[in-house]
Structure 1
Amino acid sequence: MDLFIRFIYSVITSLLMFYLLSRLVPKLKKETNVKHGITVLYLASIMTFADLTHIKVVLLMYFGLIVLMRWLYSVSSFVASMSVMFMYLITVISAMISSNITLLITGKIVDYRILFASANLSANLIFGLIVVLLLQYYKLIVKLLRKYSASNIKIDLMMLLSNVALFSFVILYQRITFENMAKFTFEGVINSPTTKAYTSYFFLTYLFVTSMVLVLIVLVNRIFMVDKNLENYKFKAETDVMTGALSREAGLTHLKSEMSRATHFNYDLTIAYIDVNDLKVVNDKWGHKEGDRLIRVISEVIQSTLREFDVVARLGGDEFLVIFTRCNKQQAQRVWRRITDEFLRVNAKGDFMFKISASVGITQFDPSKHTSLLSFVHESDEEMYAQKKLVKASKL
């Protein structure tokens, strides 16, 4: 019976972890329930039968999850490893916080490493709530990153090191608090009549320090992204009024920065030059108001389908540029197929008088060939026009 209860709690925890993972990697939400079931079953099985109090077993579980995502969902190794790492950080910090809160409120000790196996309902409910709150906190950090994206390599490195140090402090603080409070509980200090009145003080102090550290992380990131990188903030804030995408100047400045970073760190960089199909036809037949609507719909579909750290800029008129950071041509082509699938879904709804579609040219950055920004963009532009000619020829 104990094993059955552990399995039930493991399934619930696995569902929560998968929900977290699907929010970190939006692509997962579009996959089949069969794949989701396999992922949840994998996590639940290991949680039920493996001893997760040993760090080696934990690392093997998460490494297996990365491999599973790579094989089952065709997610890139970089995205899979980064998303699993963030999921691990959120779940570990959530487990520590919930164990500490449970200890301070109820006086019961729950091992944060295998919190799900305790069958402590209150601890697991607190864990679920903290996971959701930390997910919203993560979204806030990402929102800051997208708005004030850094383009200076030294600033990026300083940001990375500061975040590692701060999150390490959070984990260390949570662990020390848990160990000390557990020690006090074993000795009967917290539950003794003379010190029981101080429990609320410990609880409020603990919550205050934890929340202040998380606020500190946001402030430190903001300092690096805004105060130390004002030039990049300025071009990032320059957006196209109609579509909300970056302006031409801001987009090309960002691309130039990414080219330098890709060359320095030797990672993949790919761009997609996009041209809206039949804009002139829509303008002539239904007016420029509908033509502007077509451009906005195309932009909305593109931006909603991209990853959080990809960037889209409106080059002018009906032309857009998408910058895929740490992404090769094959991966960018898969993203574009998702975008065209979304075009088809929008067209199937019949909400517009016109059909939406676009031609694209996708080019992967090659430092030896693309020695300038213009040569890189020009090659992608030529590939787009070649595709556009094929589309026009097929209509004849």
Structure 2
Amino acid sequence: MNYEHMDIKLLLKSIKAKDEIILELEEKLKESLYYASRDAVTELLNRRAGLSLLEKEIEISKINGTSITICFVDIDGFKYINDNFGHTKGDKVLKDVGKTLKESIRKTDILMRIGGDEFVIVFCNTKIDDANKLWSGIDEQINKLNKETYYNYNISLSYGFSEYSSESPLSIKELLHNADKSMYSNKVIYSNKKSN
């Protein structure tokens, strides 16, 4: 566009219009970046974004000499819910569990959905014993969710912990593997209790 021959009012109007377009594009970019880091169903952090934050927390932990506890969470009987009540109900369970977990953890902690019915909580600056205490609050909120929301089935969660510390400087892969293994042991114990 040739600005040299425009009168001042037309020039200002043109600049204002371009500013509005730039602001709109900036908003769309922010929105795109937000959704690129979010899980489509729960709107929690997705695996990639969550693990990126975990990596940063481990660096901070190394510098400060603090601990981080990873909690691997799995919804018990999720396949049964999907198979018997439909995927719409399954998505509602994922959203409700995600919301309950998010509202139950501290603002400094990280929560991500890593796929399927699995979530990971990163309890920052926290040892396993303290994470266990924090979990009891989550358990209470899940029980409350069952009383207020579900009638045909109850939601229960299996979970397992793994700790990063200067004494045990595990990689992210090792932390997740150990927490997943611990969660699976708890799930087996839960299943055995349920069937007895």
**Residues 352 and 243 (structure 1 numbering): CA distance in 2 closer, same or farther, change over 3 Å?**
farther
- State how far apart, in whole Å, the 2-side matches of 1:374 and 1:313 are: 15
User: Does the 8 A contact of 1:236 with 1:250 survive in 2?
Assistant: no
Q: Which moved more, 1:247-256 or 1:325-334?
A: 325-334
Larger Rg: 1
1:381 and 2:180 are equivalent in the alignment? yes
Question: What is the total number of aligned residue pairs between the two structures?
Answer: 163
The equivalent residue for 1:248 is 47
The alpha carbon displacement at 1:393 in A equals 0.9
SS of residue matched to 1:362: strand
The alpha carbon displacement at 1:368 in A equals 4.6
Could you list the runs of 5+ residues in structure 1 that have no partner in the other structure?
1-233
- State how far apart, in whole Å, the 2-side matches of 1:235 and 1:306 are: 21
SS of residue matched to 1:274: strand
- State how far apart, in whole Å, the 2-side matches of 1:324 and 1:235 are: 22
Question: Going by fraction, where is strand more abundant, 1 or 2?
Answer: 2
Instruction: Tell me the TM-score normalized by structure 1.
Output: 0.39
1:272 and 2:71 are equivalent in the alignment? yes
Q: Which residue among 154, 160, 183 is the counterpart of 1:355?
A: 154
Deviations 1:237-267 (A, max 9, x none): 6111211210100111111111111011111
Could you list the runs of 5+ residues in structure 2 that have no partner in the other structure?
1-32
1:338 and 2:137 are equivalent in the alignment? yes
User: Does the 8 A contact of 2:66 with 2:166 survive in 1?
Assistant: no
Matches within 5 A, 1:1-396: 238-396=37-195
The equivalent residue for 1:23 is none
Question: Going by fraction, where is helix more abundant, 1 or 2?
Answer: 1
**Residues 314 and 394 (structure 1 numbering): CA distance in 2 closer, same or farther, change over 3 Å?**
same
SS of residue matched to 2:134: helix
User: Does the 8 A contact of 2:71 with 2:162 survive in 1?
Assistant: yes
CA RMSD of the aligned region, Å? 1.8
Q: Which moved more, 1:348-357 or 1:311-320?
A: 348-357
User: Does the 8 A contact of 2:61 with 2:165 survive in 1?
Assistant: no
User: Does the 8 A contact of 1:235 with 1:249 survive in 2?
Assistant: no
**Residues 283 and 272 (structure 1 numbering): CA distance in 2 closer, same or farther, change over 3 Å?**
same
Instruction: Tell me the TM-score normalized by structure 2.
Output: 0.77
SS of residue matched to 1:294: helix
Higher relative contact order (CA 8 A, sep 6+): 2
- State how far apart, in whole Å, the 1-side matches of 2:163 and 2:171 are: 14
User: Does the 8 A contact of 2:73 with 2:120 survive in 1?
Assistant: yes
The alpha carbon displacement at 1:382 in A equals 0.5
SS of residue matched to 1:270: strand
SS of residue matched to 1:363: strand
Structure 2 counterpart of 1:389, which letter?
A: V
SS of residue matched to 1:395: helix
The equivalent residue for 1:90 is none
**Residues 367 and 374 (structure 1 numbering): CA distance in 2 closer, same or farther, change over 3 Å?**
farther
